Structure 1
Amino acid sequence: MAADRPLLVLHDKEEGHLVYDLLLLLDGEEETTTLACFPRPVARFPSQWCLSFAVSGGSIVGAEYDWNDTYFHDTVMKVGGYDFWERHASPWSRRDSEGRLVRWWPMFRSYASRFLGGRHRDRPAMLPLPDGTVVRMDTVLFDGIYTFETLRPLPGGGGWHATPLPNPPVGPLRKNEITFVSAYLALGTRVWISVNDLTAKGTFSLDTKHGRTWRKEGTWLLPFEGRAFYVPKLDSVIGLTAGTRLLCACDVDNLQVVRHVWTDTYPRPWEERIISDGGHPPSEPSKPRDMPSLAYLGKGRICICRPMSTMEPSDYGPIVTYNAASLLVVELKRSSLPPNGNGDLHLARRGKMSYMWPPQGRESPYMGFIQPATC
């Protein structure tokens, strides 16, 4: 089995979801770093629907969730190669509380004639923990129709065992009312989430190993957007700021307050323009859009993946697709101050912007990292 490491997922409209290994490059002259992907995928998930992924224990596990159904895939990477094979359940199957595959009939999910879950930004979160467990949780909480569960690998690589978790105490939602999980992270076996809603706003945590009850941490929200993660080397929680999506850091003992924000981690104006194959800029600049994601590459180095598109995002128009993704590697360090050498956290190096295009010039509904547990 391959070791846990960050990977990049690209949703290709023709081939399904392609998973790529990463290659870190160092430019010695300018002391900058760039990130590239190996030319062939290490795994492929043939589904055309939106999938959520996690890498844990050398395996890539994906969960499909649309307005009809939920089911799981499992792919194991071969060490040192790019071959792949797939094992997946019937598309109309689901695991019960004992981990057995059972038939589960479709459940209609809609709100004001608008389907939920059909876009990647509405897909469930897949949060790996250090013990190999993956927590799967819906990020769209709709009228009581949402689930939280743990996925644990079965001995011998025979699949995954699903166990339901209690729903967080967000309070009763009114009919046709929607609320969202705005941010989440794992500290050891404890999962933290923030729910952003006028009536249910707050942050909750649950110890997946020793507890079965969510604890309300307060009415404040985690100051991130999407997933954040703890980096032991930096002794900080790293994420993207809500709204502006800049790289930021919080202290572990105070997750309410952002201690550092690095504005230099957003693409500069001249970096937003993608050069076409002919060496000429396109008719319109391709700007970073939705769904940025992070990957921790070790030694304080973090890569930010920002899908890029000439299309303006719209809640009611066609699903936005992306013609490229920008990849930016930065290195964070702590200043060496006496007596313990644990000084201020700062941006020590900013790499060159690099780009990835979908195969054969096609546009992609999604490009982003899957990050294994970091502690």
Structure 2
Amino acid sequence: MARSQDAAAGERRLAVDERRVAAEERKVALEEKKLAMEERDRSLAWEKINVNRLFSSSQSQETKMRRLPAPVTRFATMPHRPERIDFALAGGGATLVGVSSQHRTVLHDAASGVTSAGPELAHDKVGCCFVVPLGRRRLCAVKRRHYDYPASPDEPTEPLGETLVGGAWRALPDPPPDLIRSRRGNPACLLTACFAAGKRLWVSARDRGTYSVDTAARAADGWRKEGDWQLPFQCRGLLAPDLAPGLCFGLCPRTTRLCACDVRRSPPPVRYAWDDTRPCWPTSFSQENIATVARLPDSSLAYLGDGEFCIAWTIAISEDNSTIRQRALWLMSVKIGKNSPSAPLRLLHHKACIYELPDRALMAYALHAD
């Protein structure tokens, strides 16, 4: 699932910059990861959802399962080769950038609707990676699982990530050995969370602490260790300077509720955690012979501006606790604000709805437009 934010004629949306869309519309774009039995059917789709009603209605939950709109575009994966593509919206939502596990980059221009091949990566991104824009002209792709040994005896150890700038990828400086070194019982460096500010990227690794790197630097001294602690959210955190300078918003690792931590302090204390933003499935599910509703990994968060967020979860619905009958997108709008400039933040509004995913869809994500 992908999501994009754009500010045109006063509108705030999650999606690509669609200048012909009505000025009051907010949209969320969806990235679906699809896998069929036949190689020729493997693809990823990008859709947009109008989220106006999620912010305008007082009702806290919609129980009717909706259908997704037609895809804006599709991305075919490589035939006869396993491939994962992780996406980010760069340039304020002007460009959708996909980073492949097979060295390639795909680009989709929002204004023209043209999809093209981008520059090739020097190293593969097996598994999955964080794709993080840093301003409008720089983007970083960091592997979430890194092993401290070369792919073959003739190759050097791969870098933790690469930066796209000036139309070409270049490797990040070599990280500190303590971050990537294999350990007994814990051979892999597993990144759990990240956030960016300017050209600097912060990453947390399980049992290894938190580090940051100047992505414009070329020497290893561009890295520094921030502490033995881990960032208190999962996956990517988002800064919202128009709402609360110094706070980073993310999803709690266990509950996936929305939280905000103060990244100006070390370790960053959690200042807010809103319980009402936990995923809560419709009670009507129990009346439809549905035995289990399970939340799948990698929930995602997007910020639309003006205190408005959208949270996306992929859920698996089964009838007998073993066979998945259907996958669905659980989407929640959240409005955060304050009564006065000096007052604390509070939850002003939240509403959830559910979308049916196509038969072969595996996961759906919301993308934040940087």
In the TM superposition, what whole-angstrom CA distance separates every residue of 1:160-216 from its partner, at most 9, and x where no partner exists?
31111113214222599112011100112211001113xxx1111112236741111
Instruction: For 1:86, give the aligned amino acid.
Output: T
1:46 maps to 2:76: yes
**Alignment root-mean-square deviation, CA:** 3.4
Q: Who is 2:274 aligned against?
A: 262
Work out whether residues 182 and 194 of structure 1, in 8 Å CA contact, stay in contact via their aligned partners in 2.
yes
Q: Who is 2:356 aligned against?
A: 357
Q: Who is 1:233 aligned against?
A: 242
1:30 maps to 2:58: yes
The 5 Å alignment of 1:205-354 reads 205-209=212-216, 212=219, 213-235=222-244, 236-254=247-265, 256-270=268-282, 273=285, 281-310=288-317, 323-336=327-340, 341-351=341-351, 353-354=352-353
TM-superposed CA distance for 1:32, in Å, is: 6.1
With over 3 angstroms needed to count, the CA separation of the structure-2 counterparts of 1:369 and 1:229, relative to structure 1, is same
Q: Who is 1:113 aligned against?
A: none
TM-superposed CA distance for 1:87, in Å, is: 1.9
Work out whether residues 26 and 32 of structure 1, in 8 Å CA contact, stay in contact via their aligned partners in 2.
no
Q: Who is 1:71 aligned against?
A: 104
Work out whether residues 322 and 363 of structure 1, in 8 Å CA contact, stay in contact via their aligned partners in 2.
no
TM-superposed CA distance for 1:246, in Å, is: 1.6
With over 3 angstroms needed to count, the CA separation of the structure-2 counterparts of 1:174 and 1:300, relative to structure 1, is same
Secondary structure at the residue paired with 1:310? strand
Work out whether residues 26 and 33 of structure 1, in 8 Å CA contact, stay in contact via their aligned partners in 2.
no
**Structure 2: 5+ residue runs without aligned partners?**
1-5, 7-15, 19-26, 36-40, 150-157
Q: Who is 1:7 aligned against?
A: 29
With over 3 angstroms needed to count, the CA separation of the structure-2 counterparts of 1:292 and 1:311, relative to structure 1, is farther
Q: Who is 1:100 aligned against?
A: none
Q: Which of 70, 73, 88 is the equivalent residue of 2:117?
A: 88
Q: Who is 1:178 aligned against?
A: 188
CA distance, structure 1, for counterparts of residue 223 and residue 279 of structure 2: 38
TM-superposed CA distance for 1:259, in Å, is: 0.9
CA distance, structure 1, for counterparts of residue 162 and residue 218 of structure 2: 13
Task: Give the TM-score of the pair, scaled to structure 2.
Answer: 0.75
TM-superposed CA distance for 1:29, in Å, is: 5.8
In the TM superposition, what whole-angstrom CA distance separates every residue of 1:38-83 from its partner, at most 9, and x where no partner exists?
7222222111632111111211111111xxx32211221236xxxx
In the TM superposition, what whole-angstrom CA distance separates every residue of 1:283-317 from its partner, at most 9, and x where no partner exists?
333232211100112221111101001369xxxx9
Higher RCO (Cα < 8 Å, 6 or more apart): 2
With over 3 angstroms needed to count, the CA separation of the structure-2 counterparts of 1:29 and 1:183, relative to structure 1, is closer
With over 3 angstroms needed to count, the CA separation of the structure-2 counterparts of 1:350 and 1:178, relative to structure 1, is same
TM-superposed CA distance for 1:25, in Å, is: 2.0
Q: Which of 128, 131, 140 is the equivalent residue of 2:133?
A: 128
Work out whether residues 142 and 173 of structure 1, in 8 Å CA contact, stay in contact via their aligned partners in 2.
yes
Instruction: Give me the identity figure in percent.
Output: 25
Work out whether residues 49 and 69 of structure 2, in 8 Å CA contact, stay in contact via their aligned partners in 1.
no
Q: Which of 75, 95, 98 is the equivalent residue of 1:62?
A: 98
With over 3 angstroms needed to count, the CA separation of the structure-2 counterparts of 1:234 and 1:211, relative to structure 1, is farther
CA distance, structure 2, for counterparts of residue 297 and residue 33 of structure 1: 20
Secondary structure at the residue paired with 2:331? strand
Secondary structure at the residue paired with 1:260? strand
Q: Which deviates more, 21-30 or 216-225?
A: 21-30
Work out whether residues 53 and 126 of structure 1, in 8 Å CA contact, stay in contact via their aligned partners in 2.
yes
Instruction: For 2:182, give the aligned amino acid.
Output: L
1:194 maps to 2:204: yes
Aligned residues: 316
With over 3 angstroms needed to count, the CA separation of the structure-2 counterparts of 1:61 and 1:327, relative to structure 1, is same
Task: Give the TM-score of the pair, scaled to structure 1.
Answer: 0.74
Instruction: For 1:40, give the aligned amino acid.
Output: A
**Structure 1: 5+ residue runs without aligned partners?**
97-103, 108-115, 155-159, 275-279
1:366 maps to 2:366: no
Work out whether residues 322 and 366 of structure 1, in 8 Å CA contact, stay in contact via their aligned partners in 2.
no
In the TM superposition, what whole-angstrom CA distance separates every residue of 1:117-145 from its partner, at most 9, and x where no partner exists?
4xxxx401101112331100101011244
In the TM superposition, what whole-angstrom CA distance separates every residue of 1:216-236 from its partner, at most 9, and x where no partner exists?
111111111111110112222
Instruction: For 2:58, give the aligned amino acid.
Output: E
With over 3 angstroms needed to count, the CA separation of the structure-2 counterparts of 1:243 and 1:167, relative to structure 1, is farther
Instruction: For 2:363, give the aligned amino acid.
Output: Y
With over 3 angstroms needed to count, the CA separation of the structure-2 counterparts of 1:8 and 1:272, relative to structure 1, is farther
TM-superposed CA distance for 1:16, in Å, is: 0.7
With over 3 angstroms needed to count, the CA separation of the structure-2 counterparts of 1:245 and 1:371, relative to structure 1, is same
TM-superposed CA distance for 1:243, in Å, is: 2.3
